[in-house]
Structure 1
Amino acid sequence: MRIFLAPMDGLTDDIMRHLLTRVGGIDVCVTEFVRITNTLLPKKVFYRASPELLNSGKTVSGVPVRLQLLGSDPVCLAENAALAASLGAPAIDLNFGCPAKTVNRSNGGAVLLREPENLYKIVKSVKSALNGSTPLTAKMRLGYDDKSLALECASAIEDAGADELIIHARTKTEGYRPPAYWDWIAKIREVVSLPVVANGEIWSVQDYLRCKEQSACNDVMIGRGLISNPNLAKQCKLVSDGEPFNPIAWPDVVALLIEFFELTLAKMGEKHATGRIKQWLRYLSREFTEAEALFLTIRQDKTPQLITDKLKVCQAKVLNA
């Protein structure tokens, strides 16, 4: 069984991938999507999306990072996929699941699920360009407006030569509203033979176990659940092995937050770094009451030094408690 860290635009960048894979339990990462339009992108775009390319396509902890592409032009996607593969991407992933309106209006992401024949053309073109040297995977939802084409879309992706399929168990219209329809993944598994990874609404070990049972999948992809609980993947692995587990301790979370802020500040600058630390605290608040309290203390702060000082004060308090 494998656990994947989901690609989430503006959230699971290389810094987050580095920290979460170091915590442990994650077997595969997928980058935030690289948008492909009608040009061959320069190499620097792929290195920016996946700095791990400079480390044999792996995080510092040794977890492979697949590079995800989003677009609708079969030829241009193929050319860019071939370039990304030549730079050392361990696998190429195609995004057929993004529900964002701006993406869908540009004929990318989940809107392509309305046209299974186009899915086939895209996957076929990219598969041919990779020439068997680099695995090709795809991520889809159960449909756009409804689930009527779910089986047809999955079959088109398989028939075109994809090596693996990740399925987010909701339609575009359903967005991220619970529940996730894991049983529909099981229906898809009955009509395709390629490996399938289940995704959607996994916030806890109990969700993980239910997802595996209802989807009939051994492998799962977790997104927001891992941002909210950094050692959820490790907990799931321990449960699968029949071992007891303990939640990650708040002092360890604070140490992650401090390192995250330092790395993000160095990479992105003050404005983005302050927004990102607040964003992560909001997710962590789902699991840790302490995170909510810490968020409230920095919510109005815009000065990095002030935020850093408050993070370190919090760390000193929890270590001395």
Structure 2
Amino acid sequence: MKSQETYYVSAFFWENFNAALKAKLDVERIFRRMNFKPIDLFKDGKKIRVLSITKLFKLVLSSFFTKEYEYSNVFFQNGTGIDLFLAPILKLAFRKGKRIIVIHDVESIRFSRKIDFLREKFVFSKFTHAICHSKQMADFLREKIGFNGTLFVIELFDYILESLPNTSQSPSLGGLPFPDDRKFLVVYAGNLSKWKSGFLYKIAQGNSKFKNYRLVLYGKGFDTIVQNENIELKGAFPPDELPYHLKGHFGLIWDGEETKEISGTVGNYLRYNSPHKASLYIVTGLPLICWKEAAVYDVVKKYNIGFGIHSLEELDEILENISEKEYNLWRENVMNLRNQLAQGKNLEKVINQILGS
């Protein structure tokens, strides 16, 4: 038998000011740290990385002639834009090894389109193992997509930091201690546009008295015409720098247009995925507030790192009844978890389980 190595396909992205790419960049950092060998099928264009036909052709030829990858393992992150094309080639090249797909998004859940369902069913079938967000997502992959490989649930993707904000010694960074005036700062980070986070505008223009909290927003796209003294806009920062700028008591996970509930395709997707902003909040030292029907709420309960809500309209009342002891316990539990995520240990643990099985 030929020697067995572990490879990864270098992903189809470039490092720029884009928070959506942070998770994928961190996955590659972990691959490199674990001394996996890169397979780079892309070349640098003027502004983006594009597929190299020459490199792809060499991989196909090796599958038929040298068979150098036949018994080796390969990791692949979905969402390259050409998964449909690459997946069968990887199956051919690594046909007797473990082929692991790291799933960042499942578009057939996210958009409920038939074409996405058919594409993902084909792509995922070419892999022997998959790493996904939650038990709910794993069940969907088995029961709806028909994935027959071995599934591993990561719960939270890592959010690697060069150094940790010291929330215990520096109150200007990360999670803040229990407020003396009981006025909590609730952080929301992400796309702040009306089409993505319409609930923010309903809060700003509604009748909320904000008795026990203020919203602190980080990101792009907020319509500054909307004014509310209890909503503070902090601006946008590169994802690797963002944790050093966040300041608050809680991190909010909510989405869509409504404040009373989460509905539609946005709400349905939260039932399955683990938003990367949850990891951002944790490495910053913020306990979480999330929708009770979201998949990530299982994580919140498991590690006791915050609380869930059915509606944003009940947030004020819940915050009014939180004790300092309760808040400090949540914050302590967050601090215990954040080192694991900030150092990339969560994915590393799952990878070792896969390769050791």
Q: Give me the TM-score of the superposition, normalised by structure 2.
A: 0.31
Please tell me whether Structure 1 or Structure 2 has the larger radius of gyration of its CA atoms: 2
